[in-house]
Structures are given as C-alpha cells and as structure tokens.
Amino acid sequence: MNFRSLKSVLSILISGVFALNAAADVEKKSLTLQDLFQMAKAANPNVLKANSKIVEMADNGILARSNYFPSLTLQSTILSNQFLLSQKVWDGGATLSAYRQSKEEEKIAGWDKKSEIHRLYRLVTEAYYKALFEIQKMEILEGDAKLIDGALVYAEKQVKFGAIGRNILLKARVAHKKSESELFAARSEKEKATRVLMQLTRRGDLSLDALNGRLDPHDLAPLPETSGGEMVQTAAARSSDIGALKSREQAEISRNNYSLSEERPQVSLIVTYGVGEKNPPKSIYPGYQTGVNLGAFINIPLFSGFSSSAKNRISRERLVQINQDLNSTLSNIEFETNSLRDQLKQDANDVATLDSEVRFSERMWDEVNSEYQVGLGSPDLWFDATTNLEIWKIQQLEKTRDYMTKHAHLLAMIQDGVTE
C-alpha cells in the first residue's frame, strides 16, 4: 500500500471516528435558543427591576384610591378625647385622576418590561447564532487542518526522495501555519461567544457544547405571508415603545386633571365624638366639642392667579412632545420592518448563491483530490482547491448566521409568543 492509499484509509477512519463522536454528543446537546432566552430573562437584573416597578405602580393605584376611604382619628389631651370621622364627598376629581394616572403608569412599567425583554431577546439571539457560527466554523477549520497536516507530512517525505520540489514543501508549510493561525483566531472567537452567553444567562458553567442547533435556514419558522404595509402595522401594534407612549399620553391627561382639581370645589363630611371636660382651654384644644357633632367642609377656590391656564399650556406642550415621539417611533418601526424584510430577501438570495458556490467547490475539490491521491494532480492545485472550498463554506456560514439572526428579529416584532 503506497502512502497516498494509506492516507485515504486514515482519512476515512478519522471521519468515521468523528461521526461516532458527533452522534454521541447529540445526547448532550440540549440548550435551544428559547432555553437560553428563558435563562437570561430569569437572571437579568433589568427585567427583575421592571417587575418590581410594576408592583410599585400597582400599589400607587391602591394609594390613590385610599384618599376616598373614610378616615378615623383620635385627638387626645390630658383634659379630653375626641374621635374624628371624615369622609370625602367630592375632591374635584383628584382621587379619580390620581388613580387613572397610576393605572397608566402601571401600564408604562409593563411596556417598559416588554421593551427590556425584547432587547434581551435580540441580544440572546445574536449571541446564540454567533456561537453556532463559531462552532461550525471551527469544525470546517479543524477538518481542513487535518488535511493540510497530512499533506505537509507527505510533502516532507516526498522532498526527501526528490519526488517534488522544495517550493511545494514551502507551500505546504505556509498553508500549515495559515491553518494554525486561523484555528487560533477561531478558538479566541469561540471563547468570546461563550463569555457573551455566560454573561447574558448569568451561568458561569455554560459550554457551547451544550447548544442544540445548527445554522440551517430550513429550521426557521416561516414568516407570515403578508404585505409590507400589513407587516408594519402588526409591528407597530405590538411595539412596546408605541404602547408606552400611548400610556404616557393618557397619564399626562390624568396628571393635568389632578393638578387642576386643586382649583375646584371640594366637599367633606365630618362626624366628631368628644369625651372629657366640657370646655377645656381653647389654647390646648381649640377644635374640641363634647358629644356627637355633625359637620361638613366646603372649599371653593375663587382665584388661583391664572395657574389653570398655565397648567393647561404646560400639559398641551407635553402632549405635543409625546405625539412627536410617537410619530418618530412609528417612522423608526416602519423603516426597521421594511429594512429587515428587504435584507432577508437579499440574504436569502445570497445564501442560495453561496450554497451553489459551495457545491461547485466541493465537486472541484473532490476531482482535484482524487487526482492528487493517485499522484496525477498538482499539489499547488490541491492547496488552492482546499483553501477555496474553505473560504466559500465560511462565507456561506456567515451569511446564514446573518439571515437567521435577522429572521428572528423580524419574527419577534410581528408575531406573538416569540419573546414570552
């Protein structure tokens, strides 16, 4: 058996071993994109803070309504005691406005939480597909490195026998060093991808070996078959930024109504029950009355120094600013949705083109390698074909990663349940 035949047999055996190892590793791969996202969401401090903010705003609503609950007070001195029961009848709409404002602020907190979750989903998606890219790129580079290592060993032996010139050996050594450099850089990028996922999930023991997935566009859920305009409308309707701005608009209206309530009539009923000295010194207890007494307070503001008009102007300007932010956000959503849609079409075409180039390069490499194995092909051509195939494969992987990342981003904008 000559050296070329031995190398072919070894190559087949090595491929078989790697196939068995890959099959065994499938059982260990369990973490999907959704698994990583749920881990990141459960550990993200901004999401936890947003949950606390929602609870705080809900409690503010309870606090606002409590202003209309009856109030019971005990006023006591050394000479007498008096119970005071008061009940608001009308406070100029202050309680209702404060309650409505707190409910809108609770909605804002909920929208802010959704916005944070959506931002986190985008980060996890980018990190996940980046990690898959680095894993598969490493597989390509390691496979080529083994081929080049074998070619280098073969070239060194052939030079000793004078079968080939030293220029071929030098090319093999250059290719070997280039392969080592690429592997070193790929390992560094793989470590970076691991650290990013560790940071997002707050899991220091996370390994990329646990990821379950490949860069394959066929694994993606299909996008809804709708027009660009319908897709923009859906994205706008689901946008947490739009929802927050609409709630801010209603909260500002309620806030202004609350501030204006100070200049409206207010009515309260009062019931007192006094026990003790009939006429204690007024300096000690000026409001004391013995026994049961009924009364009412009516507060009618007569002049507020034109503060109402100033408050209304301020509120109108705030509403104008909110409306401007709303229009700007709608414009951004329209641009991003249409841009992602157009980029996906272009990326899909690029992936198909690169897939054709990879298949063509594989056929060329198989042909060149077959001739090279039996001593008919040029070593120069073999190295060129190997390098060319590697370049096309990595370019295809990179474009597939971009396509799948953008697909996930667009799907999260227009479809319910993706970021739940």
Nearest CA to 344 out of 418, 411, 419 is that of 411
CA distance 213 to 131: 10
Six token digits for residue 82 = 């008096």
Handedness of CA 104, 109, 114, 118 (dihedral sign): positive
Q: Is residue 76 part of a domain?
A: yes
Q: How confident is the model at residue 20 (pLDDT cuts 50, 70, 90)?
A: very low
Q: Poorest-confidence range of 133-142, 255-264, 340-349, 387-396?
A: 255-264
Predicted confidence at residue 396, as pLDDT, reads 96
Predicted confidence at residue 364, as pLDDT, reads 92
Predicted confidence at residue 276, as pLDDT, reads 58
Amino acid letter, residue 315: S
Domain count along the chain: 1
The model's pTM is 0.80
Predicted confidence at residue 22, as pLDDT, reads 40
| Residues 284-320 pLDDT 10s | 444 556 666 666 667 777 766 677 888 889 999 999 9
Predicted confidence at residue 258, as pLDDT, reads 80
Q: How confident is the model at residue 28 (pLDDT cuts 50, 70, 90)?
A: low
Amino acid letter, residue 398: E
| CA 247 vs CA 4, 169, 315, 344: distances in Å | 74, 72, 15, 33
Q: In terms of residue numbers, what domain contains 158?
A: 31-414
Q: What is the DSSP letter of 261?
A: G
Q: How confident is the model at residue 16 (pLDDT cuts 50, 70, 90)?
A: very low
- Work out the widest C-alpha separation in the chain, in whole angstroms: 129
CA distance 160 to 143: 27
Beta partners for 272? 84, 293
CA distance 209 to 190: 11
Q: How confident is the model at residue 10 (pLDDT cuts 50, 70, 90)?
A: very low
Q: What is the DSSP letter of 263?
A: G
Nearest CA to 334 out of 229, 206, 415 is that of 229
| Residues 337-367 pLDDT 10s | 999 999 999 999 999 999 999 999 999 999 8
Percent of the chain topping pLDDT 90: 48
Neighbours of 401 (CB within 10 A): 22
Predicted confidence at residue 287, as pLDDT, reads 54
What is the bridge-based pairing of β-strands 71-76 and 266-276?
unpaired
Predicted confidence at residue 354, as pLDDT, reads 95
Q: Is residue 17 part of a domain?
A: no
What is the bridge-based pairing of β-strands 291-299 and 266-276?
antiparallel
299 touches 278 (CB < 8 A): no
CA distance 1 to 189: 41
Q: What is the DSSP letter of 298?
A: E
386 touches 361 (CB < 8 A): no
Using the predicted structure, report yes or no on whether residue 43 has a pLDDT greater than 70. yes
Angle at 163 between CA 161 and CA 167, to 5 degrees: 110
Looking up tokens 């799907």, which residue turns up? Answer: 411
Q: Is residue 12 part of a domain?
A: no
- Pairs from 390-396 (Cβ < 8 Å, separation ≥ 24): 390/140, 390/141, 390/144, 392/354, 392/357, 392/358, 392/361, 393/140, 393/358, 393/361, 394/137, 394/140, 395/354, 396/351, 396/354, 396/355, 396/357, 396/358
| Residues 235-253 pLDDT 10s | 999 999 999 999 999 999 9
The DSSP line for 392-417 is HHHHHHHHHHHHHHHHHHHHHHHSTT
Predicted confidence at residue 81, as pLDDT, reads 72
Q: Is residue 7 part of a domain?
A: no
| Residues 155-197 pLDDT 10s | 787 777 776 667 778 888 888 898 999 999 999 999 999 999 9
Q: Is residue 313 part of a domain?
A: yes
Predicted confidence at residue 418, as pLDDT, reads 78
Amino acid letter, residue 164: I
Backbone angles phi, psi at 211, to 5 degrees: -75, 135
Backbone angles phi, psi at 217, to 5 degrees: -60, -25
Q: How confident is the model at residue 399 (pLDDT cuts 50, 70, 90)?
A: very high
Q: How confident is the model at residue 272 (pLDDT cuts 50, 70, 90)?
A: low
Q: How confident is the model at residue 273 (pLDDT cuts 50, 70, 90)?
A: low
Beta strands in 277-411 (DSSP E): 291-299
**CA of residue 190 relative to chain centroid, distance:** 21
Nearest CA to 116 out of 47, 57, 37, 34 is that of 47
Predicted confidence at residue 11, as pLDDT, reads 46
Backbone angles phi, psi at 31, to 5 degrees: -85, 115
Percent of the chain topping pLDDT 70: 83
Instruction: Kindly report the average pLDDT of the chain as a whole number.
Output: 83
Predicted confidence at residue 274, as pLDDT, reads 65
Q: What is the CATH number of the domain that holds 77?
A: 1.20.1600.10
Predicted confidence at residue 37, as pLDDT, reads 95
Q: Is residue 126 part of a domain?
A: yes
Looking up tokens 């791969």, which residue turns up? Answer: 29
Q: How confident is the model at residue 61 (pLDDT cuts 50, 70, 90)?
A: confident
| Residues 106-119 pLDDT 10s | 999 999 999 999 99
